[in-house]
Structure 1
């Protein structure tokens, strides 16, 4: 399932587990700063940012923020207040550095001396767990202003008592009870007034092990969860490389859960991961740096191949000086794998291993020149004028569009940008899919792009691999469009068509991540999709073509269609509106004749022709039945001697007092800056 690039689940963001606020035990008056947990310097958080980390999993303890079950969050009392202030301070400072933050309670059982699914050494219950998460989500969103860069990981490493090896004192939790607790928490977080929409990560049992998720019942339990916002993801932990020299140890451990997730459209976060890496400055250590390098290189390739499912990994772990060490799985005082022990002044062998892999590539096709390619594009309401898609009659490498002849081969060029901080390698598995459709102002999806009616839309050419693209660079792909549609086969010889370019995996649907029927908004929301109106008309033709106003929804729609008359520079034309003529066909003609036009904007010229006195006001209050298409011929040829002109038609849905752009067509005659020509002199 695709998400906008700035969504928590919208792109890979790698980082670290930031620990030591997950306190083990503390006194009856609450945790004490400097005794039970550290204060973190700006230097350490700056180091995270400098390394290019995109996310931090921030650990804390439930009892430290809610001192009694059902009590307030934050808990009353001076020490609790200081702890809460320190936790929020770290959160805010991480957000200020552009990092996504996952808040995760790490629970400790002092009887077993290990992490456990407990509160104050007692089992948790769905009501108390739900109450905590509702109170915690409310408190966090109050101080962050509902910042959606904050996510919630429900609890660290659920496990049954048997999965602990029947460790004395361990309580654990059964699989059914865990998913009852998880659903209760989700339901409370999403309860209205207000509803909190933060991304929620839900682990499985088996200590959240990636290798066990599919087979131990966690996958089935996870799929039974419900969330009205559809903003859940899986989190798993991967320590399967420890004690192994196999280069594919990490890949092998995660392949099952990733394959399952792709099948069911689920996102996966690797919430914890670590490797032994040879000499680390301690007396006892495991593996070799060369072995770890081979394992990590294979892991990076696996992440790239599966970046449609994996949203990143967080190394375990790191903390303030004196609170953490670099010991590995062979060290009795280890299992820490610290990246820096001195706020970034120096770094350990583990940072040497992974620090080049925090940054990731991010591919995008832009909607307009102001589009950042990093999330929903709010710089324009027009999604159908991408500068990254253009057509040429021959493969001459031209960087601007030109007239093409219907029914004859041509070439479509598409530019793909890498907006990430890492190069996109030749080994990447993303492809560009390219589709065409017969244009109308109410285009939707998946039809007509799907090819179900080949005369109305289909694939342009087979998908192409993106290829190596440097950070902040772009790659241009060319597609031979052999079977170009011929406008002579369409009503009114209309040569207005559309192209849709999608960056995706080879076997994925191009419409993965689309919502509702509004193609225009989907294109603007999703950086990996772009749309371009083009014209396929005889070179000497001077007619604009045919506008199709359509309703692809399942309900009746009131619409407005407006027109912008543009000169050869692509700017609003100062004159010539009186020469803009509307020629409604068939049902459209009857609808215009019956239209209530209180402002007198539509002038009847006779013989089925109409003039819009103010094209920008357009046709207002046009009612469309579900599935209805109305066709209008357009003519405009201002006598200004200019080399070209254009008309942009935009269709709006009129709903509950709002005017929502849902599509449009841009018609071009001659040479107009920024567009392909519709004809040539």
Structure 2
């Protein structure tokens, strides 16, 4: 389980246990639609029981659940939409009924409609307000993890750190002790964590996360294709992706911190499959630093021809599933708690 030892989040597991706590999948669909509320069942969808059951039976124990901030909070600074909150709750309860944990993931890239976080139109206090309201709804549920934001990409690292810290402070002030996942800016890439970009250097700035509850981990993403975007069907940078995870592992060690790989994926290309296995193995070999991972992606509406798709076909499992499961190994898994 996870507990505090000398002020640090640590992994405690039974004798003979090996590897990270959490291995799972993103189930896409509720984040569909851009700059519009949309109609449930027409423009967006939450996971079906069939899909949830499939991944639970494959041994997954966590689902990262993308959704849109705009639908859940139609007006900044005001209450959450009761209808959308009910849909989110039902999806969470469905996943929990299959004994899987849930990462709540506002899949907004640092935006609300076309307003960029950190500007006068979308100040950090609006982001904190959203998380205060959402965290109250799911406070202190050991099965619920708060993923602050999916891939903020063009907000300066110092501005993003300030917004993240304000959201964390609000969550804790409301009494929620849940594990919080904190990304960096510039898509929160693992391999680029210590590189300099116009928006700053995550590795230089994000060590400044302040959590009064001391219960957070850094969320990074990593793909294996030519530009680390996950949009190509070949993986010429598979080796670089694994090396990026290893460098990030060292950064975590230096900062006495924990990490979570919120997205990674590849096609059925042989280099991609080998890279996926190697990435999982790299995390499994460092459970002191890594809490786990969620593959991108599955979903009832996920495009059939999308290269990273891990949703089963009519003929059965996709080869990417075998690749990531191969990396897990066969040792006894640790039993992990997200509250302390």
Structures share fold, TM-score greater than 0.5:
yes
TM-score when normalising by structure 2: 0.83
Specify whether residues 323 and 122 from structure 1 end up closer, same or farther in structure 2 by C-alpha distance, changes over 3 A only: same
1:158 partnered with 2:152:
yes
- Out of 310, 324, 335, which is 1:354 matched to? 324
- Out of 229, 248, 256, which is 2:247 matched to? 256
Secondary structure of 1:14's counterpart equals strand
Deviation of 1:300 (Å): 3.5
Contact 1:12-1:311 at 8 Å conserved across structures: yes
Secondary structure of 2:10's counterpart equals coil
- Out of 21, 25, 28, which is 2:34 matched to? 25
Q: C-alpha distance in 1, partners of 2:242/2:171?
A: 33
Contact 1:292-1:353 at 8 Å conserved across structures: no
Contact 2:266-2:273 at 8 Å conserved across structures: no
The gaps in structure 2 that reach 5 residues or longer are 1-8, 118-122, 227-233
> Radius of gyration: which is bigger?
1
Structure with the bigger percentage of strand: 1
Specify whether residues 207 and 248 from structure 1 end up closer, same or farther in structure 2 by C-alpha distance, changes over 3 A only: same
Q: Report the counterpart of residue 16 of structure 1 in structure 2.
A: 25
Q: C-alpha distance in 2, partners of 1:55/1:44?
A: 13
TM-score when normalising by structure 1: 0.43
Q: C-alpha distance in 2, partners of 1:34/1:292?
A: 33
Contact 1:183-1:226 at 8 Å conserved across structures: yes
Structure with the bigger percentage of helix: 2
Q: Report the counterpart of residue 118 of structure 1 in structure 2.
A: 111
Q: Report the counterpart of residue 61 of structure 1 in structure 2.
A: 68
Secondary structure of 1:210's counterpart equals coil
Contact 1:12-1:312 at 8 Å conserved across structures: yes
- Cα deviation, 1:279-331, whole Å, max 9, x if unaligned, reads xxxxxxxxxx2x234323432331232121111121110111x4433422xxx
- Give the 5 Å matches for 1:64-463: 64-73=71-80, 75=81, 81=83, 83-107=84-108, 116-124=109-117, 125-141=123-139, 146-160=140-154, 173-191=155-173, 194-216=174-196, 217-242=201-226, 243-245=234-236, 248-278=239-269, 289=270, 291-320=271-300, 322-328=301-307, 337-341=308-312, 346-357=316-327, 361-362=331-332, 374=335
Deviation of 1:181 (Å): 0.6
- Cα deviation, 1:560-592, whole Å, max 9, x if unaligned, reads xxxxxxxxxxxxxxxxxxxxxxxxxxxxxxxxx
- Give the 5 Å matches for 1:494-643: none
Q: C-alpha distance in 2, partners of 1:25/1:134?
A: 24
Q: Report the counterpart of residue 565 of structure 1 in structure 2.
A: none
Deviation of 1:86 (Å): 2.0
Deviation of 1:221 (Å): 2.1
- Cα deviation, 1:407-456, whole Å, max 9, x if unaligned, reads xxxxxxxxxxxxxxxxxxxxxxxxxxxxxxxxxxxxxxxxxxxxxxxxxx
Secondary structure of 1:176's counterpart equals helix
1:37 partnered with 2:44:
yes
Contact 2:274-2:323 at 8 Å conserved across structures: no
Q: Which has the higher contact order (CA 8 A, sep 6+)?
A: 2
Q: C-alpha distance in 2, partners of 1:133/1:13?
A: 23
Specify whether residues 220 and 45 from structure 1 end up closer, same or farther in structure 2 by C-alpha distance, changes over 3 A only: same
Secondary structure of 1:271's counterpart equals strand
Contact 2:179-2:215 at 8 Å conserved across structures: yes
Report the aligned-residue RMSD: 2.5
Contact 2:258-2:289 at 8 Å conserved across structures: yes
- Cα deviation, 1:16-69, whole Å, max 9, x if unaligned, reads 111110132365xx4311112125322211111111012111001101110100
Q: C-alpha distance in 2, partners of 1:25/1:245?
A: 31
Q: How many residues align?
A: 310
1:2 partnered with 2:3:
no
Q: C-alpha distance in 2, partners of 1:347/1:294?
A: 17
Q: C-alpha distance in 1, partners of 2:103/2:284?
A: 22
Q: C-alpha distance in 1, partners of 2:262/2:335?
A: 23
- Give the 5 Å matches for 1:43-54: 43-54=50-61
Deviation of 1:255 (Å): 1.6
Q: C-alpha distance in 2, partners of 1:296/1:128?
A: 37
